[in-house]
């Protein structure tokens, strides 16, 4: 009988352990967890300008987030930027929020904070029972620089006369190093580059008007510092209006039978579509994709001025098509398409040697759809030349070439109706009229003369 009572007592004790003690122990273990909250800060720059937005994420997977506090300490003065208490879900669950993100706007001047070094301090606490129910605490500090003054932009070059579809050069000095500066032509941006002058705060920005931008286009320089402060600077300029040639190209069945097999494209209506449908797909969609590829290709440029003097054109050649010719494509008496020719077509004898128009580094050597075999040369500071429809390429990407060096042979690869060279010039991401770069007087008046003057004034 005693043995039976002992067994009942033992079972009761075990049951009490399961029902009361173990849950209590489990709660204590969970609620006394020692993992600190996590703070993730997205700060675009260690410099804070007139207006700065911070992105902050606080998380605590176990107990939940209890409190967030953010302050800025400058010259012994503490300014509270943000503070928030997050809701409690109960003894067992802890905090109701386990992750939360915030955007905090900082405006130093309105907050009475002056420029200079400061400390950005962040504190997060969770709902753990550690430290007598005060929870685990995470401290995060970042050294920052308060900078509310915009950079100064001083234009050093003079006489900026630009033609529609033409190029220009602005030389300017910044009061401080800026991650982004350059020239805006309408909505198009042309970055400025340091490295040519001894003073790294003197930059050069080649800019251009595309063939659609005429008189009335707004042009100005702009610089943005690390704190996000921006400053614009105007300068005198004159835009010469240009009227571009209109051209009519007859598309024949002979041309289609010759050229369309070169392009592996799907026609809009399937494999049984006519060759003219394939031509339209090539002339529209593939042209657009190829154009985009070239623009992406010229995003990176060397900060070396590789070129010198007038650019060379294909020797003993005749011009077959001009820059920004507005083309109509006609098939069997009907106009089927319209495109703009962004280069100059030069023809000599078949498979003529093609020279590098000036010194530079080969940025691309390969095949590009409608342009066929193509070479692109980076002449430095955002200036590029392109050579298309080649029958052969004699250089490799990354190779440095000299003015006059043979880089390939003329041909009819791509969407070319005969052996010729399609020669193009780009300023950053804008095709420009190559004729200017073949003109020694234009280069002296608009580029080399400006550089020489600025250099002599800033020894």
In order of 43, 66, 81, 101, the CA distances from 104 in angstroms are 11, 18, 7, 10
Element (H, E) at 31: helix 22-31
pLDDT recorded at residue 162: 96
pLDDT recorded at residue 266: 56
**Claim to verify: residue 269 and residue 416 sit in the same structural domain:** yes
Terminal alpha carbon distance of the chain: 112
13 within some domain: no
**Claim to verify: residue 302 and residue 350 sit in the same structural domain:** yes
pLDDT recorded at residue 42: 86
Report the chain's mean pLDDT, rounded to a whole number: 90
260 within some domain: yes
Is pLDDT at 6 greater than 80 in this prediction?
no
How many domains in the chain? 3
pLDDT recorded at residue 5: 57
Is pLDDT at 28 greater than 60 in this prediction?
no
Is pLDDT at 459 greater than 90 in this prediction?
no
Q: Which residues pair with 15 in a beta bridge?
A: none
Query: Residue 132, class by beta-carbon neighbours within 10 Å (0-12 exposed, 13-18 middle, 19+ buried)?
Result: exposed
**Claim to verify: residue 139 and residue 177 sit in the same structural domain:** no
Is pLDDT at 1 greater than 60 in this prediction?
no
Phi/psi for 245 (5° steps) reads -65, 145
**Claim to verify: residue 177 and residue 142 sit in the same structural domain:** no
**Claim to verify: residue 409 and residue 263 sit in the same structural domain:** yes
440 within some domain: no
Is pLDDT at 271 greater than 60 in this prediction?
no
| Locus of tokens 């420029």 | 115
Which pLDDT tens digit goes with each residue over 54-113? 899 999 988 889 999 999 999 988 999 999 999 988 777 778 889 999 898 989 988 888
pLDDT recorded at residue 19: 55
Average the pLDDT over each of 6-10, 213-217, 260-264, 426-430 and give the range with the smallest value.
6-10
Q: Note whether 91 and 37 are within 8 A (CB).
A: no
324 within some domain: yes
381 within some domain: yes
Domain boundary among 116, 146, 176: 146
pLDDT band for 405, please (50, 70, 90 cuts). very high
444 within some domain: no
**Claim to verify: residue 258 and residue 356 sit in the same structural domain:** yes
**Claim to verify: residue 165 and residue 56 sit in the same structural domain:** no
pLDDT recorded at residue 272: 59
**Claim to verify: residue 267 and residue 410 sit in the same structural domain:** yes
**Claim to verify: residue 87 and residue 46 sit in the same structural domain:** yes
**Exposed e or buried b per residue across 412-439, where buried means at least 16 C-beta atoms within 10 angstroms of its C-beta:** bbbbbbebbbbbbbbbbbbbbbbbbbbe
Is pLDDT at 130 greater than 90 in this prediction?
no
pLDDT recorded at residue 265: 64
**Claim to verify: residue 170 and residue 212 sit in the same structural domain:** yes
For residue 221, the domain's CATH number is 2.60.40.10
**Claim to verify: residue 398 and residue 288 sit in the same structural domain:** yes
**Claim to verify: residue 114 and residue 222 sit in the same structural domain:** no
Is pLDDT at 11 greater than 80 in this prediction?
no
pLDDT recorded at residue 10: 63
Range of the structural domain that residue 81 is part of? 38-146
pLDDT recorded at residue 132: 73
For residue 136, the domain's CATH number is 2.60.40.3880
Domain boundary among 96, 118, 146: 146
Overall average pLDDT of the 229-247 stretch? 95
pLDDT recorded at residue 13: 60
For residue 340, the domain's CATH number is 2.70.70.10
- How do beta strands 421-427 and 344-347 pair? antiparallel
CA distance 402 to 362: 11
């Amino acid at each position: 009988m005693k043995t039976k009572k002992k067994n009942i007592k033992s079972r009761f004790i075990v049951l009490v352990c399961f029902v009361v003690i173990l849950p209590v122990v489990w709660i204590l273990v969970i609620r006394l967890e020692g993992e600190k909250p996590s703070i993730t800060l997205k700060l675009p720059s260690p410099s804070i300008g007139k207006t700065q937005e911070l992105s902050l994420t606080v998380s605590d997977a176990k107990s939940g987030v209890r409190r967030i506090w953010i302050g800025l300490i400058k010259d012994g003065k503490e300014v509270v930027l943000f503070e928030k208490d997050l809701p409690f879900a109960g003894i067992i669950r802890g905090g109701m929020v386990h992750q939360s993100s915030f955007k905090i706007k900082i405006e130093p001047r309105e907050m009475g904070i002056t420029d200079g070094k400061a400390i950005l301090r962040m504190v997060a606490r969770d709902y753990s029972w550690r430290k007598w129910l005060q929870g685990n605490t995470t401290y995060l500090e970042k050294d920052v620089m308060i900078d509310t003054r915009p950079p100064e932009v001083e234009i050093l070059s003079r006489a900026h006369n630009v033609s529609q579809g033409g190029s220009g050069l602005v030389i300017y000095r910044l009061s401080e190093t800026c991650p982004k500066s350059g020239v805006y032509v309408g909505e198009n941006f042309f970055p400025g580059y340091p490295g040519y002058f001894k003073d790294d705060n003197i930059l050069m920005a080649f800019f251009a008007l595309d063939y659609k931008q005429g008189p009335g286009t707004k042009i100005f320089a702009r610089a943005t510092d690390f704190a996000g402060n921006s400053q614009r600077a105007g300068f005198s300029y004159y835009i010469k209006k240009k009227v571009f040639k209109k051209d009519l190209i007859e598309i024949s069945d002979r041309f289609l039978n010759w050229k369309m097999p070169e392009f592996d494209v799907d026609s809009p209506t399937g494999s049984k579509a006519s060759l003219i449908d394939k031509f339209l797909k090539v002339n529209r969609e593939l042209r657009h994709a190829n154009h985009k590829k070239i623009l992406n290709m010229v995003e990176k440029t060397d900060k070396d001025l590789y070129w010198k003097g007038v650019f060379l054109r294909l020797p003993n050649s005749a011009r077959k098509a001009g820059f920004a010719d507005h083309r109509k494509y006609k098939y069997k008496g009907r106009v089927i398409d319209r495109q703009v020719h962004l280069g100059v077509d030069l023809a000599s004898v078949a498979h003529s040697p093609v020279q590098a128009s000036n010194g530079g580094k080969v940025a691309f050597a390969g095949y590009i759809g409608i342009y066929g075999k193509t070479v692109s040369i980076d002449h430095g500071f955002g200036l590029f030349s392109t050579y298309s429809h080649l029958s052969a390429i004699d250089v490799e990407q990354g190779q440095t070439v000299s003015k006059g060096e043979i880089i390939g042979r003329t041909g009819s690869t791509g969407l070319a109706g005969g052996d010729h060279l399609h020669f193009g010039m780009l300023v950053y991401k804008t095709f420009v009229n190559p004729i200017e770069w073949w003109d020694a007087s234009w280069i002296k008046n608009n580029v080399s003369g400006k550089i020489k003057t600025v250099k002599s004034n800033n020894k």
